[in-house]
């Protein structure tokens, strides 16, 4: 094939198809769920970046987003609730040649796993993290999460919660991150572009996906998002923290794009002095050791 652009598209289509299940009869998500476009955008981004199945490890948390482990033809780990980030970090440290992608919902991330999120940002593990922000525990049929608006009636809490929710971008920006972006399940092209940028980042890339939940989140619908999202202005400088905070904290509209980026920060692997990108991966250093002499001294 002589046309390089056409060849690139053909190659990308092949990679996309390789990630698609051979038997797609598993129906883990409700009709209209934002997980479908999120996963589609993720596969598109991987294909456009030329990342094949052998290059990527997917780490899934428990929840509706976690059921994505059964809906993609890839290397996947389905971990414990709220524990996906230490799982992903451990895999990346063990085999840093792989692209590691972690996904979790807002309940797992900002309730069970908030301490893990804090240290993942602090250590700047080279992991792409996609937060499925549908503002409820959908798998437990509409339980309010730490991101559900105050006093919002939910099926599992008719009177809602009487406390203020976390603001996910406010929390993460307060932890001195190296990459923060926001996108929305209602805009698949923007999700694709945003995930591509996250894949290119060398450290911990936090992507907040504003996601529709048609079954249990009746207060913020797909159509509502279409009327209340706006792309960041071109004048925004993602290396400017003050500008990042200005746009991140807005909720009408919600701004989509690369909120903050510090490309100069060293990631976790770069700070480990005795290892570098040329070092043998830890997984290849695992071997049987003779400890008989140690046992004899006991």
Whole-Å CA distances, 231 to 54, 119, 187, 235, 257? 34, 29, 10, 11, 6
Spell out the CATH class of 28-296. alpha beta
Residues 6+ apart with CB under 8 A from 256: 182, 183, 184, 187, 190, 194, 229, 230, 231, 232
Predicted local distance difference test score (pLDDT) of residue 278:
59
- Asked if residue 272 has pLDDT above 90, the reply is no
Which of 85-89, 179-183, 264-268, 273-277 is predicted least confidently? 273-277
Between CA 102 and CA 71, with CA 133 as vertex, the angle to 5 degrees is 50
| pLDDT computed for residue 26 by the predictor | 64
pLDDT at residue 24 tops 70: no
Strand 179-184 relative to strand 254-261: parallel, antiparallel, unpaired?
A: antiparallel
Quickly state the pLDDT bin for 298 (edges 50, 70, 90): confident
Q: At residue 22, does pLDDT exceed 90? A: no
What is residue 245's predicted lDDT score, i.e. its pLDDT? 97
Query: Exposed, middle or buried: residue 25 (CB in 10 Å: 0-12, 13-18, 19+)?
Result: exposed
More confident residue, 28 or 251: 251
Which value, to the nearest 10 degrees, does the dihedral of the CA atoms of residues 110, 113, 114, 119 take? -150
The upper half-sphere exposure of residue 158, i.e. CA atoms within 13 Å in the direction of its Cβ, equals 0
């Amino acid at each position: 094939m002589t046309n390089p652009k056409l060849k690139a598209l053909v190659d990308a289509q092949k990679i996309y198809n390789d990630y698609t299940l051979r038997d797609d009869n598993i129906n883990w998500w409700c009709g209209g769920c934002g997980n479908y476009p999120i996963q589609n955008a993720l596969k598109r981004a991987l294909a456009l970046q030329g990342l094949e199945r052998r290059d990527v490890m997917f780490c899934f948390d428990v929840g509706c987003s976690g059921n994505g482990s059964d809906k993609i033809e890839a290397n996947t780990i389905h971990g414990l609730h709220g524990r996906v980030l230490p799982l992903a970090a451990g895999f990346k440290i063990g085999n840093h040649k792989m692209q590691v992608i972690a996904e979790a919902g807002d309940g797992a991330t900002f309730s069970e796993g908030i301490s893990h999120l804090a240290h993942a940002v602090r250590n700047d593990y080279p992991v792409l993290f996609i937060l499925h922000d549908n503002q409820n525990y959908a798998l437990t049929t509409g339980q309010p999460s730490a991101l559900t608006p105050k006093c919002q009636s939910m099926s599992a809490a008719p009177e809602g919660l009487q406390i203020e929710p976390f603001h996910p971008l406010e929390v993460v920006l307060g932890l001195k991150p190296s990459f923060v972006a926001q996108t929305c399940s209602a805009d698949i092209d923007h999700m694709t572009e945003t995930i591509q940028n996250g894949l290119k980042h060398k450290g911990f890339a936090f992507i907040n996906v504003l996601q529709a939940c048609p079954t249990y989140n009746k207060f913020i619908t797909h159509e509502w998002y279409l009327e209340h999202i706006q792309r960041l202005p071109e004048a925004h400088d993602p290396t400017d923290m003050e500008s990042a905070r200005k746009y991140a904290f807005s909720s009408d509209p919600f701004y989509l794009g690369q909120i903050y980026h510090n490309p100069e920060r060293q990631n976790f692997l770069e700070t480990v002095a005795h290892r570098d990108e040329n070092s043998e991966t830890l997984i290849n250093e695992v071997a049987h050791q003779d400890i008989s002499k140690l046992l004899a001294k006991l």
